[in-house]
Amino acid sequence: MKVFFPNSAWVKTRERLVLKGGRFAKIDLKVRYGVIIHPKLGPILIDTGYTEEVISGTKRGVMLDLYARVLRPRLNKAEQPKAVLARMGYGPEDVRYVIVTHFHADHVSGLGQFPNAQFIVDGAAYKHLRSTPRRGNLRHGIFTELLPDNFSERVIELCHLPEADPGYGLPVGHDIFGDGCAVAVSLEGHAKGQFGILMTLNGSPLLYAVDVQWLACALTEGRIPGWPSRLVADDFTAYKHSAAIVADYIKQGHTAVFCHDPETSAYDYLPETIAK
Ligand SMILES: [Zn+2]
């Protein structure tokens, strides 16, 4: 199994908003998504990052248009999901699964590009999304127009997958492919039902910790930002708990990848080293 993380886009933010005691200066956050090349199932995506649907999609409502104007993501055309897959000889129709870690726009933007994919989701988060009025979802950065029209028919809920203990002090989760190579672990707090993925590569663990923090150093240096994360978090107590779990995992000497960290990761996408 191969796993790597392309960068779909950059978004500017002030460092102090994402790092306690950080500078006032603006930094470029990445917006990663994951690609798993599974030996039996082929290419599988972990989220999609930002895609053109957020910036110029015709289905966008007024609020999504406003969101894009305020955040102004700059798409990385070379590392958009379809471009990355094409370089490996795959078309969008070859993707059978997209693992949706949570429903924020920068994670689901391109789901509509994969006509044959089923979507692996946290069932409670999806139920909450469906039962929440549109305005409530918007307040949490969820734009339902980004989901394909037949999304509900293509959903696989984690709770229907076998339970698995990922080890490393992480909570018991669900074995996504039934072969133990990727376990979904709950990392609640940032968004309802957010989950990370513990993968095992050549005997070593790799945790995709999604949006538990923007910057890894906020965890390793004890510099979790205060009020901005409280403002953004779905549940601030759970947010701090998930941060502590991931900080402990990193302290054990294991590798974690975050969606937005500008620092280069050993698992970032390098076209020259990824062959089909
Ligand atoms: Zn998020």
The answer for residues whose C-beta is within 8 angstroms of residue 117's C-beta and 6 or more apart is 45, 95, 96, 97, 98, 111, 154
Q: What is the pLDDT of residues 53-104, one digit of tens each?
A: 999 988 999 999 999 998 899 999 999 999 999 999 999 999 999 999 999 9
Say how many Å lie between the CA of residue 263 and the centre of ligand 1. 18
Any idea what the CATH number is for the domain that residue 198 is in?
Answer: 3.60.15.10
- Structural domain boundaries, residue 98: 2-273
Say how many Å lie between the CA of residue 111 and the centre of ligand 1. 15
Q: What is the pLDDT of residue 82?
A: 98
Say how many Å lie between the CA of residue 105 and the centre of ligand 1. 8
**Residue 12: pLDDT above 80?**
yes
- CA–CA separation, 247 vs 212, rounded Å? 10
Say how many Å lie between the CA of residue 216 and the centre of ligand 1. 15
- CA–CA separation, 10 vs 13, rounded Å? 10
Q: What is the pLDDT of residues 229-261, one digit of tens each?
A: 677 788 889 999 999 999 999 999 999 999 999
Say how many Å lie between the CA of residue 6 and the centre of ligand 1. 17
Q: What is the pLDDT of residue 269?
A: 96
Say how many Å lie between the CA of residue 113 and the centre of ligand 1. 20
Say how many Å lie between the CA of residue 194 and the centre of ligand 1. 8
Say how many Å lie between the CA of residue 214 and the centre of ligand 1. 9
- CA–CA separation, 113 vs 81, rounded Å? 9
Which of 104, 172, 110 has its CA nearest to residue 138?
A: 104
What value does the mean pLDDT of the chain take? 93
Say how many Å lie between the CA of residue 240 and the centre of ligand 1. 15
Say how many Å lie between the CA of residue 152 and the centre of ligand 1. 21
DSSP 8-class letter at 270: -
- CA–CA separation, 100 vs 16, rounded Å? 28
Tally Cβ neighbours within 10 Å of residue 18.
23
Say how many Å lie between the CA of residue 210 and the centre of ligand 1. 8
Q: Is 206 helix (H, G, I), strand (E, B) or coil?
A: strand
Q: How many domains does the chain have?
A: 1
Q: What is the pLDDT of residue 275?
A: 57
Q: What is the pLDDT of residue 134?
A: 85
33 Cα distance to chain centroid: 6
Say how many Å lie between the CA of residue 138 and the centre of ligand 1. 13
**Residue 276: pLDDT above 60?**
no
Q: Hey, which bits of 47-87 come out as E strands?
A: 74-75
**Residue 22: pLDDT above 70?**
yes
Give the pLDDT mean for 37-46: 97
**Residue 139: pLDDT above 90?**
no
pLDDT confidence bin for 217, thresholds 50/70/90: confident
Tally Cβ neighbours within 10 Å of residue 97.
23
